Structure 1
């Protein structure tokens, strides 16, 4: 039998090994859960998003955005990427050219309409922005970012009740959307007591 000091060292080493193994397994499980988001269908991603933790919501949002950004055609995906790149550079004319070509060639691709609406809104062409958001939402009623954008348009035109309703619809789909939460908090006092 060893000395008490040797036994204590062995016990501490065993506890450390168990603790490290436990943490390792937990990290692997978390990684697997995150990785498995890519294996889920759109309906499964949306169902999980509705009841997710804030941490899981970020991964689910990324997966949904990636899924919604795929048109099914490499050429159309390239037009989307070029339109987004042009918007990032504030080259609105080029962005609208790419995104209009995209809506012409892929009219069933909701992300094309949503992105073009964003470009129109950025140059204060609100009528076309709203029309494109309506088309995007007709094609994908679960697009919480399009609902948020619609709320922003309503808010810009001093229609807090309709803005609040759009934000509530977005929040029902994505409860952890930070910008939607801020918008609802900002407008809640203004629409409090008003029937939506």
Structure 2
């Protein structure tokens, strides 16, 4: 609560307005998905990630965010698929590559 929650609320109001005024702007949806993620509002975050990816299928940030939610929900296979898709779009995501490695160095890639 307190100051942090006030900042979250203010950010959410700002992003709600941006999404209302610019509904085709993928990054506004992605930023609100991130805000929801930080508040453990996973269902709302996933909904905004889906909209981000509908608008911009190659949005590797949204793919990575979905992977993080999957990890938090103990769904490592789904997480790995999301992270691998993010790496297909942007192979320079070293942190994501490390997570994929940790998720199963002994397994071959799930997608190719």
Q: Please give the range of the TM-score, normalised by the shorter of the 2 chains.
A: 0.7 to 0.9
CA offset at residue 106 of structure 1?
A: 0.8
Give the secondary structure class of the aligned counterpart of 1:91.
Answer: helix
Extract unaligned runs of 5+ from structure 1.
1-86
Superposed CA offset, 1:131-190 (max 9, x none): 000100110011111111110011110101110000000101111112211211111248
Hey, which bits of structure 1, 4+ residues long, moved more than 3 A? 193-196
Q: Following the alignment from structure 2 to structure 1, what is the Cα–Cα distance between the partners of residues 66 and 110?
A: 19
CA contact (8 A) 2:29 2:48 kept: yes
Distance 1:119 1:161 in 2: 24
Using the TM superposition, give the Cα deviation of residue 93 of structure 1 relative to its aligned residue in structure 2, in angstroms: 0.6
TM-score (norm 2): 0.87
Higher relative contact order (CA 8 A, sep 6+): 2
RMSD of equivalent CA atoms? 2.0
Confirm or deny that 1:186 pairs with 2:102. yes
Q: With the length of structure 1 as denominator, give the TM-score of the two structures.
A: 0.51
Query: What is the CA–CA distance in structure 1 between the aligned matches of 2:21 and 2:109, rounded to whole Å?
Result: 43
Deviation at 1:194, TM superposition (A): 8.8
Distance 1:195 1:125 in 2: 28
Residue 13 (structure 2) aligned to one of 97, 112, 120: 97
Structure 2, unmatched stretches of 5+, are none
Give how far 1:104 is off.
1.0
Match of 1:145 among 61, 85, 90: 61
Aligned equivalent of 1:41: none
| Alpha-carbon separation, structure 2, partners of 1:194 and 1:186 | 12
| Partner in structure 2 of residue 121 of structure 1 | 37
Q: Which has the higher helix share?
A: 1
Map of 1:44-55 to 2, 5 A cutoff?
Answer: none
Which of 70, 75, 79 aligns to 1:154? It is: 70
Count of paired positions? 107
